[in-house]
Amino acid sequence: MCSVRPDLRKLLPSPSNSASNGSAQSGQTIPAYTTPPLTATTRPAVVFTWYPIQTILPTVQRWGGYFTLPSPPVGTTYTSFVPIPANNSQLYSCAGCSGNDPGNGYYVGGASLAVKTFNATYAVATCTIRIASPGGAGTPVISATNSHFYASYLPLTNAAPGSFPPSSTTPALPQGEGSTITITGNVQGGTRPATNPIVYLACHLDTSTCS
């Protein structure tokens, strides 16, 4: 028997899964790669850039944020580092991390983001999360029950995950520790802008913990 607590997990950028790194910083970046095979972008280097949600929705009183990524050229995929490592992932899912500080919550698992542009009117984004295995006594047992994914050429206008466009998750939820889930959604916002196209990304999970 255990007590079950619903919670919301969001992606944060970090060089590791340590809870002592402090708050995620506005404008923090992680490298983007092309694939296949995994190749660093150069001239110029492409990056995912993280911002707190208050950057575009200043009245929102909640933690969390979003990433921006230059839209890949047609036929190209930009991804964060894959495969997702068991430790020290550049992106990770954090639970209860008020103030965008992992010290206020706990690590759920490493993550990756990717966008592929097929043509001017069709692009697909994915958010993959590798749910961590149990960490020993006192570590909450995690079950992912629902997913929310924002991918658009337009900035977010609502921070509520339930307002995000429809997406699909494989394998089907719920999933627990040791599972890897991928959330897939079409990039919204109409035709890809002809000048400096940017993709806005936000990935959330509804989960329950048993501790």
Query: Domain residues of the chain, as ranges?
Result: 4-210
**With b meaning 16 or more CB within 10 Å and e meaning fewer, what string describes 176-191?**
bbebbbebbbbbbbee
Q: How many residues does the chain have?
A: 211
Q: Mean pLDDT throughout 148-156?
A: 96
3-state secondary structure of 25: coil
Average pLDDT over residues 43-66: 91
Check whether 94 has a pLDDT greater than 60.
yes
**Can you tell me whether residue 167 is helix, strand or coil?**
coil
CB of 8 closer than 8 Å to CB of 92? no
pTM, two decimal places = 0.89
Structure tokens at 53: 């949600």
**Model pLDDT, residue 160:** 87
> How confident is the model over 187-211, as a mean pLDDT?
90
Q: Contact at 8 Å (CB) between 31 and 41?
A: yes
pLDDT score recorded for residue 82: 93
Residue range 87-92: mean pLDDT, rounded: 85
- Distance of alpha carbon 89 from alpha carbon 2, whole angstroms: 30
What pLDDT sits at residue 55? Answer: 93
| Whole-number average pLDDT of the chain | 86
How crowded is the C-beta side of 204, counted as CA atoms within 13 Å?
A: 20
146's enclosing H/E stretch is strand 141-152
